[in-house]
Amino acid sequence: MEVIPICPHRSTAKRCVISLGVGRKSYTDCLKRLEESLRKVRFQGDLLVWSDELPIGSPSQLEAPMAFKGFCFNEARQKGYEEILWIDAPIIAMRPLEPLFALMNRYGFITFTNNHDQVLGQWCSDAVLAYHQLSRDEAMAIPETPTSVIGFDLNTEIGNQFLNQWHALLTDGLTCKGTHETINTFEDYYAITWNKDKRVSEDPRVRGHRHDQTAAGIISYRLGLRPYADTLRDVHYKEAPINRHTILLHHREFGEEITTLNDILYRVFFKVPFIERPRSYLRKLAGMARSIAKHGRAALNTKSIE
């Protein structure tokens, strides 16, 4: 784990962003891009990254997929940080993070609403529902809790409760895995994640098992909490366009080469608003003009026949 001071004149608050990218060059490149974006928005805190190995004590991805997030939080807590925000490596900061930490301070935690309106019941295995004594119908009414960005203020009771209970589920041997069976290969891991060949449920509503997100959704439900923040946008989700309130952008990367920060910012702040949107608007106007002209000619031809 590496501690990277972002702002040399940062506040005295023990505040940090944490992230992990292990196993592929594109992951570590994303960590560097995240760091660059935090510097651009002058983040008042430290960045803690795990780029070469999982945090101390963390199970492997096949033993407990995504459980490393809880161990990253615990390492940050052991180092004395009190306001801790997890950000997935492919995400960039587009605007200052202070509003997010203000929300975290107010509520004790921060979780983001799901732009796709998905629910826990779509992303939880039969085995995990049975273990937690939840019915499928009950789970279909529980909002999914995305964990690409999640944070806790450990000066608050609710922040500590949420993190401690989440970490417990991440390491209970079932909730993260989604199955009592051993996961031996990454093919089986993906079959669980996407319910391939009905791996985790025969219910047609079940799309897969979301590991750490499933665990967070169960904790949120137990504590009577709901995802509430909406300043995160997904670059692939057109129905939730980036706007002046968007603080974080989840720029998913699937290849070995990643998009540079400058290229993303150019597209978001210049190309889309000043080139692509006006061009799309002009195309619509041209289409309307052609349609009007076509109907006008048709009307004239009908009149001449009469």
pLDDT band at 129 (very low <50, low <70, confident <90, very high): very high
Note whether 178 and 217 are same-domain residues: yes
Which residues does 282 contact at the CB level (< 8 Å), separation at least 6?
A: none
Note whether 174 and 291 are same-domain residues: no
What is the per-residue pLDDT for 13?
65
Alpha-carbon distances of 227 from 69, 102, 105, 250, rounded to whole Å: 18, 16, 15, 17
Whether 116 maps to a domain, the answer reads yes
Backbone angles phi, psi at 170, to 5 degrees: -65, -20
Whether 267 maps to a domain, the answer reads no
Note whether 195 and 296 are same-domain residues: no
Whether 265 maps to a domain, the answer reads no
Whether 146 maps to a domain, the answer reads yes
Note whether 160 and 303 are same-domain residues: no
Whether 268 maps to a domain, the answer reads no
What is the per-residue pLDDT for 73?
98
| CATH at 12 | 3.90.550.10
Whether 264 maps to a domain, the answer reads no
Note whether 101 and 145 are same-domain residues: yes
Whether 177 maps to a domain, the answer reads yes
What is the per-residue pLDDT for 255?
81
pLDDT band at 292 (very low <50, low <70, confident <90, very high): confident
> Structural domain tally of the chain?
2
Note whether 243 and 292 are same-domain residues: no
Q: What is the mean pLDDT of residues 220-230?
A: 94
- Cβ–Cβ < 8 Å for 258, 241: no
**Helix, strand, coil in percent for the chain, rounding step 5:** 45, 15, 45
Q: What is the mean pLDDT of residues 149-157?
A: 97
User: β-strands 83-87, 15-20: how paired?
Assistant: parallel
What is the per-residue pLDDT for 289?
80
Note whether 149 and 57 are same-domain residues: yes
Residue 89: which domain range? 2-259
Rounded distance between C-alpha atoms, residue 148 and residue 142, angstroms: 18
What is the per-residue pLDDT for 11?
60
Note whether 33 and 134 are same-domain residues: yes
Taking phi over 0 as left and psi of -120 to 50 as alpha, with beta for the rest, 108 belongs to: left
Note whether 25 and 106 are same-domain residues: yes
Note whether 183 and 305 are same-domain residues: no
Note whether 220 and 289 are same-domain residues: no
pTM attached to this predicted model:
0.89
pLDDT band at 300 (very low <50, low <70, confident <90, very high): low
What is the per-residue pLDDT for 271?
79
DSSP notation for 159-224: HHHHHHHHHHHHTSSSTTTSSSS---SHHHHHHHHTTGGGSS---TT-----THHHHHHHHHHHHT
Taking phi over 0 as left and psi of -120 to 50 as alpha, with beta for the rest, 232 belongs to: beta
